[in-house]
Amino acid sequence: MKACFSLASRLVVLALVAVVLAACGKGAPQALGTLEYDRITVPAPEGERIIGIHVREGQQVGEGTALLTLERTRGDARLVASLAEANQRREALLELQAGPREEDIAQARASLAAARAQARDARARYQRLAPLGSEQLVSAADVDAARAAAESAEAQVRAGQAALDELLNGARPEQLAQASAALQAAQARFRAEEATAEKLSVVAPRAGRVDSLPYRSGDQAPIGAPLAVLLVGDAPHARIHVPQPIREQVDVGSRVRVRLEGSGRTYAGEVRMIRSEPAFTPYYALIGDDVSRLGYLAEVQLEPAASGLPAGLPVQVEFHFDQGTR
């Protein structure tokens, strides 16, 4: 009949037993709770479809064990694009660092020579037409056109000379710095895409037991959604509510005895955490009068011998202050 009790029912029975013992002046101060393990959530790195699940719930896994595999099509495409961009930026920087080719310099010299020849012809024509225009032997429009052509040709000479000077002087330090920064940014984007692509093969960050796999093969979990929950740690801890009357006697490092409900087995434990703010204790963890309804959430780490105990077992935690357990 006892095996049919729910967890809450069993804890209520434990609480009643503790109350009876306290009323008789027997037994050490107690707190009730359950065994728990530290939980690690493995989030989805990308919103991709699950194409493979390699473990089962309840399975023990080691660090680095493959848990799930996500579709890589889009991730691989982004990776290839970022690599191409990084290569393009690298080549652009190398081109600036190498300076102009001799062929480019020769072409710039030839263009400048042609511009100078055109400028001489345009200037000579204008010089011939200008006196004739003063004597009204040619129209003013022809003179203006010749002057504009000469000025345009001179501008082409200046542009050609500037282009040649730029080639001869090479890239400015500012251009090299900008090209180097663009390359570094492209390489950073590639490394980020590479890291994301690697995470599409989801592995266990620590050794532990697979507690739950919320999604199934074919599902597409959003970014950050829990793909797997692992229970980690060599031994469980007891999650309890320390009654208010004994709170000042309990501190991190306090040593206790943890008794399993039903089996009677006990384990040594040590308080590893206790909240500073009180809260109303759940009804199944109450001990004593209503004045003790306020409790302090605490965690008690069990000794290594408790390794393998399942989570969720109800426990009694006994405090022996008179035995120097603090």
Superfamily of domain 2-70+208-323: Efflux pump adaptor protein, beta barrel domain (2.40.30.170)
User: What would you report as the CA-atom Rg of the chain, rounded to the nearest whole angstrom?
Assistant: 41
Q: Which residues pair with 242 in a beta bridge?
A: 296
Please state, in angstroms and rounded to a whole number, the distance separating the CA atoms of residues 307 and 301: 11
Statement: the pTM of the whole predicted model exceeds 0.85: no
Domain locations along the chain: 2-70+208-323, 77-193
Position 225, amino acid: A
Q: Which residues pair with 252 in a beta bridge?
A: none
For residue 243 the two structure tokens come to 């009654």
Q: Residue 282: what pLDDT?
A: 62
DSSP count for the chain of H helices, then E strands: 5, 12
> 265 — phi, psi (to 5°)?
-70, 145
**Which is it for the CA torsion 77, 80, 86, 91, positive or negative?**
negative
* CA distances to 42, 74, 91, 184 from 84, in Å: 31, 15, 11, 13
Written as tens digits, the pLDDT of the chain (326 aa) is 344 344 445 444 444 344 434 434 456 788 889 999 999 999 999 999 999 999 999 999 999 999 999 999 988 999 999 999 999 999 998 888 777 777 777 888 888 888 888 888 888 887 888 787 777 777 888 878 888 988 898 899 889 888 877 776 766 778 888 999 999 999 999 999 999 899 999 999 999 999 999 999 999 999 999 999 999 988 999 999 888 888 888 999 999 999 998 888 999 999 999 998 887 766 555 455 544 577 889 999 999 999 888 888 999 999 987 544 44
Q: Residue 264: what pLDDT?
A: 80
> 253 — phi, psi (to 5°)?
100, -10
